[in-house]
Amino acid sequence: MTAMPKDPLPEIQALITRHWGYRELRPLQEQAIRANLERRDSLVVMPTGGGKSLCFQAPAAYRTGEITVVISPLISLMKDQVDALKAAEIAAIRVDSTLDEEEKTQAARELRAGRVRLLFASPERMMTDRFQSFLKELGVRTFAIDEAHCISHWGHDFRPEYRQLASIREKFPEATFHGFTATATEQVRQDIIDQLKLRNPAVLVGNFDRPNLLYRVLPRKNFVDQVLATLERHRGQAGIIYCPSRNKVDQLTVRLKDLGYNAMHYRAAHPDESADQNTYDRKATHDAFRAGTCDLVVATVAFGMGIDRSDLRFVLHTGMPKSIEHYQQEAGRAGRDGLEAECILLHSGGDMMMWKKMAEKAFEEKRIDRALLEHSKSQLEQINSYCNGSKCRHRVLVEHFGQEFTIENCGACDLCLGEIDFEPDSTVIAQKILSCVARVGERFGGGHVASVLRGVENERILKLEHNQLSTFGLLKDYPDRAIRDWVSQLVGEELLTQTSDEYPVLKLNGESWQVMKGKRSVRLTRLGKAAPKRSQAEEANWEGVNVPIFDALRNWRRELASRNGVAPFTIFHDSSLRDISRVRPTTLDKLHQISGVGELKLKQYGAAILELVGRMSKEIGLSADNSTEVLKPETKSRQVATMAATEAFPYFREGKSVAEVAQILGKAVSTVGDYLVGFIEEKKPESIDPWVAPAVRDRAIEAINEYGRLRLKPAFLALNQEVPYETIRVVVAFMNARS
């Protein structure tokens, strides 16, 4: 046996603290970094803000004399990452179409000199022969594929140029590949592994819950008012408003500007617009938002992929997205810095119809096949039930991605906060309203219908003899306002149609009849529902923060960033600025203890920060040098998924079966099966006899040796389908642990 090389992790840890200023690694980051250093392929799935970039950046920085190539879909993403790395004093370079010949030559020279640790490139460039031979010459052995879901057409952001990356595995047979994505569906995950031809990858899946996000879903009513109410809650903060179409983007931007908001728009060009002008406008919006000179963007979903800004405090959707994956990706752009943020979704029944029609059209025009059409439809059903369901939003999202959610009350969604008050008799009320619309001959508006239902004997009603109708007075116990509100909810849900004439008239539609026949149930909310509350995360994240100092630090950062031509978050994240305004340090030592303040940043900005904080604390009369105890440890819930796995380890050590451990921990057998694989890979036990009978194990080893470890299906078939997949996986893990 060869001597075990010494554990590189403590050294990496020190390097991370020095350059990035982070005190500790998140559990999955540690595993991802280990896989990378052990030269084992990996697929790292973590939600946005989970800290994926460190997983490839830290090993790259650690391996002197070697270059890691990072493939990234967008120039702006690359630029931000390179800027942030430079700010942490790590040599990184990007080659993209914006470089001129001289810059390219310069870049090539630096790369050949061997000082550069990370090279960022687009997939298109990666596919050129010239670039590939250059990388060979440089001896590249490590590739990181960022936003790896772009390779899968099951994902929400398929990019054909990513698909071609499949071929680089053959060109660089010696290299290891590491995929990174925030898209968590099993299908996409498997597709990435297949497409990138990952070899026995370490698949590391993080906890998909984002406890710092507060989710709200509201039926769309007076949507401009709803937008304004959201903006009111987020004065002085940054956010994105997503609209479903270019026209809606334009209308809302104009409206907000009229109202005095510094809003900018971002969308594709209208057919009658010059494409160049639009590209120019988009770039202006993008740059202003990145630089923090504009905090509010109204956009179609095209905006965002390139947005690395970590301090978004809200993302508002004015229409329903077409899948939960899309929603998770788009809304997930909020609160990447781990601080509280709000995700609000406004929807109406029509949104679903619109997406369905679009998918059907795409199918008819042969742009998608039947499988994809069916897939889109089922995705629509899922997001629709997210919108209309009454189950905790965090729970729905987490369970959608196949994970368990163990918290009863999340304290961070409209339902758990008790903000939504449903009318218990909703369906019956809806039936009464709809039949009244029928009785009055579909010739009157909401006001009249409400009066009839309330049993008002006014002149008009008496004259029309509507007091003789069977629906007269059916809702006499409810106030006029409530009935009118329900009418508009029904219209919003498209269970009732309202004409758009000068005097709008209510008419029944197909769905109305479904409701009246009792084939469809309805949920109506009560008026005057509770005002939006603050989540626990929000309370905690502001605790002890002096807001004027925090604001002053943000202004200081914005100016500095604009002088240096970088995005503010590449200097400091909001979380560090909040901690500084909590502790209010007077010495460099104390400042250095704050997460995100690495050595270089301390040297560069320490004096300026101490000066600003000292001056303001004195002015306001605040205590300084508070204990760093006031700092919150990193949100623990992120770590729950992996913690749960290790929780099972002692039982495995005792030789307990998967079923037994599942019983003890109260988890699903399949989940515990995953834990066992993790246990075997990590703890490398001498034998797997407690879980697989020796005879079965030997047969499986034989089959796996013959058909390979990568795909389990051939081995499964060779074993006459007698050995379940779970068992084969355990044996493969055992073989890996031994080799």
Nearest approach, Cβ of residue 417 and Zn ion (Å): 8
Stretches 22-30, 216-224, 432-440, 499-507: which one binds ligand ADP (CB under 6 A)? 22-30
Closer residue to ligand ADP (CB): 265 or 333: 333
**Looking at the DSSP assignment, which residues form a beta bridge with residue 336?**
none
The Cα 571–Cα 557 span in angstroms is 7
Choose between 12 and 214: whose C-beta lies nearer to ligand ADP. 12
Q: What Rg, from alpha-carbon coordinates, does the chain have?
A: 29
Among the listed residues 40, 17, 24, the one whose alpha carbon sits nearest the alpha carbon of residue 682? 40
Q: Which of 19, 27, 32, 49 binds ligand ADP (CB under 6 A)?
A: 49
Spatial separation of the C-alpha atoms in residues 54 and 32, rounded to whole Å: 9
Residue 593 structure tokens: 């203890």
Which 279-338 positions form the footprint of ligand ADP (CB under 6 A)?
310, 336-337
Nearer residue to ligand ADP within complex by CB, 17 or 300: 17
Contacts of 516 (CB under 8 A, 6+ apart): 431, 434, 435, 438
Told to check if 22 binds ligand ADP by CB under 6 A, we report yes
Residue 327, C-beta contacts closer than 8 angstroms, at least 6 positions apart: 317, 321, 345, 383, 386
We find the least distance from the C-beta atom of residue 628 to ligand ADP, in angstroms, to be 14
Q: Given the complex with ligand ADP, which of 440 and 577 has the nearer CB atom?
A: 577
Which residue type, as a one-letter code, is found at position 552? A
Distance set, CA 17 to CA 22, 30, 82, 649 (Å)? 5, 14, 19, 30
Residue from 33, 43, 51, 295 in contact with ligand ADP (CB under 6 A): 51
Q: Which residue has the tokens 């899309």?
A: 326
CB of 476 within 8 A of CB of 535? no
Q: Which of 25, 144, 368, 430 is close enough to bind ligand ADP by CB under 6 A?
A: 25
Q: Which two tokens mark 311?
A: 């301090």
Helix (H, G, I), strand (E, B) or coil at 660: helix
Sites for Zn ion among residues 414-473 (CB under 5 A): 416
51 binds, among ligand ADP, Zn ion, none (CB under 5 to 8 A by kind): ligand ADP
10 Å CB burial of residue 99 (0-12, 13-18, 19+) is: middle
Q: Give the H/E segment covering residue 221.
A: none
Question: Among ligand ADP, Zn ion, none, what does residue 392 contact (CB within 5–8 Å per kind)?
Answer: Zn ion
DSSP 470-514: TTTTTTTTS-HHHHHHHHHHHHHTTSSEE--SSS--EE--HHHHH
410 binds, among Zn ion, ligand ADP, none (CB under 5 to 8 A by kind): Zn ion
From the list ligand ADP, Zn ion, none, partner contacted by residue 546 (C-beta under 5 to 8 A by kind)? none
Least Å distance between CB 639 and ligand ADP?
A: 11
Please report how close the Cβ of residue 182 comes to ligand ADP at its closest, in angstroms: 7
Between residue 693 and residue 722, which ones bind ligand ADP under the rule CB under 6 A? none
Binding at 310: pick from ligand ADP, Zn ion, none (beta carbon under 5-8 Å per type): ligand ADP
Q: Taking CB under 6 A as the rule, does residue 214 contact ligand ADP?
A: no
Give yes or no for residue 206 binding ligand ADP (CB under 6 A). no
Residues 364-423 that bind Zn ion (CB under 5 A): 392, 394, 410, 413, 416
Token code pair at residue 239:
């956010």
Establish if 72 lies at the interface with ligand ADP (CB under 6 A): no
d(CA 37, CA 323): 36
Whole-angstrom distance, CA of residue 29 vs CA of residue 180: 12
Q: CB atoms < 10 A from the CB of 509, how many?
A: 12
Whichever of 298 and 396 has its CB closer to Zn ion, that residue is: 396
**Region from 41-49, 194-202, 285-293, 390-398 binding ligand ADP, contact rule CB under 6 A:** 41-49
The number of residues that bind Zn ion (CB under 5 A) is: 5
Interface positions, 573-592, toward ligand ADP (CB under 6 A): 573
Choose, by CB under 6 A, the member of 19, 26, 286, 394 that binds ligand ADP. 26
For tokens 């629509």, what's the residue?
A: 380
Alpha-carbon distance of 59 to 412, in angstroms, equals: 35
Among 176, 595, 617, 642, binds ligand ADP (CB under 6 A): 595
Q: By C-beta, is 416 or 452 nearer to Zn ion?
A: 416
CB of 653 to ligand ADP, least distance (A): 29
| Per CB under 6 A, 52 contacts ligand ADP | yes
Query: By the 8 A CB rule, do 32 and 42 touch?
Result: yes
State the DSSP code for 70.
Answer: E
Interacting residue ranges for Zn ion, rule: CB under 5 A:
392, 394, 410, 413, 416
Interacting residue ranges for ligand ADP, rule: CB under 6 A:
22, 25-26, 29, 46, 48-54, 310, 336-337, 573, 595, 634
